[in-house]
């Protein structure tokens, strides 16, 4: 009798273990410019359109945060079974750094838990990355036989000027030739923009992201510029620019500002010496002041938004980009390993099968619920910061390359 009871108990334990819910982990990294759109798309992967748990280390994550984790079931979309859960760990480091993470299996520091307020960290390789650019012109071109690079939407970029009083406020346009010149020096006389001899003694500084920035890659490719770029930082305690002598991010990615938000902060400093312009994603550029778009500067005489005016209300008409009149944009990409890379190749603690990874990536990069495309569509009435591929008439095959038709 005792043996029968013990066997029954043992069998019950085995049965419970066999149906115990599994947890799968996905590690996302890459573009800081695209973090808000990626966040909302990931939310919609979960049953009910929201994860059961979410965390940025202090509380529920915000779409602007550079690091967050969310978890829950995804049975409705067929990404998990029953009570199995998917935990997405996100760390937005920059497009090129994200590509490097895939190509070189870099170890990154993610939040380990989706439990709100849990600041436990976990070092891991990335499963996939968002990038503002194709990998080809970056430091880490991905092999087509080993990685999938899929376009998910169009990411617009713009030039902006600081809020400082003075000559910088007279800059309303940057031409292709002016961009080439100021990229080579990071300084140009104001007269170069205004044509006034009296402005020759005022210097305008161009602020740069680090080499891990897809925004920087797009800017350099747009100008067809080849060469070194001097880097300057704004002295926040003084009233001048200083030559960069230290790196603000990982040394491999050189000097410059780590995120678009950091440059946006400089653009918001009203000190008189802050005579500067910069390139930003359209999302970061929008809110430099309380009047939307007030500091945006045209490129080659064109704005990305038709009938542009400071304070323009949503929805935004991106027809200059859609129809090929405004060229300062790139495809937002989602990159992930092919099976030849994923299986037994050094990606650490990746408990997703390749089929599961591929299914999630195809959902994010496809259409309908849980896709980037759908989230851009839903955001259009409130002011989308990206453009759906299906809306584009203009196309290009390389970052900064010719636009057709």
Coil, helix or strand for 379? Answer: helix
Alpha-carbon distance of 304 to 377, in angstroms, equals 18
106 pLDDT above the threshold of 50? yes
Higher pLDDT, 346 or 146: 146
pLDDT higher at 340 or 164: 164
Query: What pLDDT score was predicted for residue 57?
Result: 92
pLDDT average, residue stretch 223-244: 94
**Does residue 3 register a pLDDT over 90?**
no
Q: Is the pLDDT of residue 256 over 90?
A: yes
Instruction: Kindly report the pTM of this predicted structure.
Output: 0.90
Percent of the chain with pLDDT over 90: 82
Q: Would you state the pLDDT for residue 19?
A: 60
Mean per-residue pLDDT over the chain, rounded: 92
Phi then psi for residue 14, to 5 deg, are: -60, -40
What the chain holds in terms of domains, given with CATH numbers, is 22-153+331-391 (3.40.190.10), 154-329 (3.40.190.10)
SS3 state of residue 267: helix
Q: Which of 25, 24, 33 is nearest to 97 (CA)?
A: 33
Over residues 368-379, mean pLDDT: 95
Please tell me the number of Cα atoms within 13 Å of 236 on its side-chain side. 7
Whether the pLDDT of residue 11 is over 50: the answer is: no
pLDDT of residue 8: 41
Mean pLDDT of 214-235: 95
pLDDT at residue 15 is higher than 60 = no
185-193 mean pLDDT? 97
pLDDT reading at 65 higher than 50: yes
| Half-sphere CA count of 129, side-chain side, radius 13 A | 34
pLDDT of residue 21: 86
Predicted confidence at residue 194, as pLDDT, reads 95
Lowest mean pLDDT among 3-17, 109-123, 358-372, 380-394: 3-17
Q: Say if residue 130's pLDDT is above 60.
A: yes
d(CA 97, CA 90): 14
Give me 297's structure tokens. 């500067």
Least confident interval from 1-15, 224-238, 329-343 = 1-15
- Segment 137-143 mean pLDDT: 94
Going through 126-237 in order, the beta strands assigned E by DSSP cover 128-131, 147-161, 173-174, 187-189, 203-207, 232-234
């Amino acid at each position: 009798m005792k043996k029968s009871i013990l066997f029954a108990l043992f069998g019950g334990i085995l049965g419970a273990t066999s149906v115990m819910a599994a947890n799968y982990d996905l590690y996302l990294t890459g573009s800081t410019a695209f973090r808000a759109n990626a966040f909302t798309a990931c939310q919609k992967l979960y049953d009910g359109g929201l994860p059961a748990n979410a965390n940025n280390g202090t509380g529920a994550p915000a779409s602007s945060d550079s690091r967050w984790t969310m978890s829950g079931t995804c049975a409705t979309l067929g990404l998990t079974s029953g009570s199995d859960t998917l935990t997405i760990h996100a760390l937005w480091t920059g497009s090129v750094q994200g590509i490097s993470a895939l190509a070189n299996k870099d170890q990154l520091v993610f939040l380990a838990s989706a439990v709100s307020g849990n600041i436990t960290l976990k070092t891991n390789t990335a499963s996939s990355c968002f990038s503002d650019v194709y990998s080809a012109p970056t430091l880490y071109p991905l092999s087509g036989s080993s990685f999938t690079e899929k376009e998910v939407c169009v990411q617009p970029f713009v030039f902006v000027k600081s809020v400082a009083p003075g000559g910088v406020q007279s800059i309303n346009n940057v031409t292709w030739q002016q961009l080439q010149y100021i990229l080579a020096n990071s300084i140009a006389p104001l007269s170069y923009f205004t044509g006034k001899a009296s402005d020759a003694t005022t210097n305008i500084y161009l602020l740069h992201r680090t080499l891990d920035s897809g925004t920087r890659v797009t800017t350099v490719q747009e100008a067809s510029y080849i060469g070194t770029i001097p880097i300057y930082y704004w002295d926040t305690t003084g009233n001048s620019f200083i030559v960069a002598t230290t790196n603000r991010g990982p040394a491999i990615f050189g000097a410059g500002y780590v995120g678009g938000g950091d440059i946006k902060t400089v653009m918001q400093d009203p000190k008189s010496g802050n005579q500067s312009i910069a390139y930003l994603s359209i999302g970061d550029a929008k809110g430099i002041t309380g009047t939307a778009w007030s500091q945006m500067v045209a490129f080659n005489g064109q704005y990305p938004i038709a009938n542009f005016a400071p304070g323009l209300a949503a929805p935004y008409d991106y027809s200059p980009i859609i129809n090929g009149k405004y060229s300062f944009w790139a495809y937002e990409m989602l990159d992930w390993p092919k099976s030849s890379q994923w299986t037994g190749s050094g990606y650490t603690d990746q408990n997703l099968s390749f089929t599961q990874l591929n299914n999630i990536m195809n959902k994010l990069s496809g259409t309908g619920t849980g896709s980037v495309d759908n989230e851009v569509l839903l955001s259009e009435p409130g002011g989308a910061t990206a453009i759906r591929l299906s809306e584009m008439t203009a196309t290009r095959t390389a970052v900064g390359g010719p636009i057709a038709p």
